[in-house]
Amino acid sequence: MSLQLEPYTWNWATIATGNTYPASQFVESASDYDATLVRVIVKIMDANGATHAQLDSATGGIIINEDAAGEWDFTIGSLDAPQVAGTYTVEVDCFDSDNVEATFTRGTWEII
């Protein structure tokens, strides 16, 4: 990855426990990345840092639509909200063909 930028802040919409968050597509077209995309992981953690859920393009829940340098495009599948109300941290981490990991977005998800 050529640029070391701060991750985008993406706060997910507030939903009620047990509801489903819809699928979301990310398209990176500004040529910020000079290597191909090889993996995407989404982590959802509670206030104590415990993992509620993890989606991984290597195992399911995330589809890489385009992996070319400067044209990254991936879709995060729908996800059931936690059964416990609270504020969760969400991170979307990307891994490129140069073995570089970067947090693409970071934000919160309020469950009521």
Q: What is the CATH number of the domain that holds 54?
A: 2.70.50.30
- Going by C-beta distance under 8 Å and a sequence separation of 6 or more, which residues neighbour residue 62? 40, 41, 42, 55, 56, 74, 75, 76, 77
Domain count, the chain: 1
Q: Per the domain annotation, does 21 fall within a domain?
A: yes
pLDDT in tens, 78-88: 988 999 999 99
Mean pLDDT over the full length of the chain: 86
Please give the model's pTM, rounded to 2 decimal places.
0.85
Q: What is the DSSP letter of 92?
A: E
pLDDT in tens, 15-49: 999 899 888 888 877 656 778 899 999 999 999 99
Q: Per the domain annotation, does 3 fall within a domain?
A: no
Q: Per the domain annotation, does 1 fall within a domain?
A: no
Question: Euclidean distance between the first and final Cα of the chain, in Å?
Answer: 37
12 confidence band (pLDDT: 50, 70, 90): confident
| Residue 77, strand partner residues | none
CA 108 – CA 12 distance, rounded (Å): 6
Q: Per the domain annotation, does 31 fall within a domain?
A: yes
Asked if pLDDT for residue 2 goes beyond 60, the answer is: no
7 confidence band (pLDDT: 50, 70, 90): low
For the record, the structure tokens of 16 come out as 């009620």
- 29: domain range? 8-111
Give the pLDDT mean for 52-64. 93
CA 21 – CA 15 distance, rounded (Å): 8
DSSP string, 47-64: TTS-EEEEEETTTBSEEE
pLDDT at 102: 80
The number of beta carbons lying within 10 Å of the beta carbon of residue 57 is 21
pLDDT at 31: 58
Q: Per the domain annotation, does 2 fall within a domain?
A: no
pLDDT top residue among 11 and 63: 63
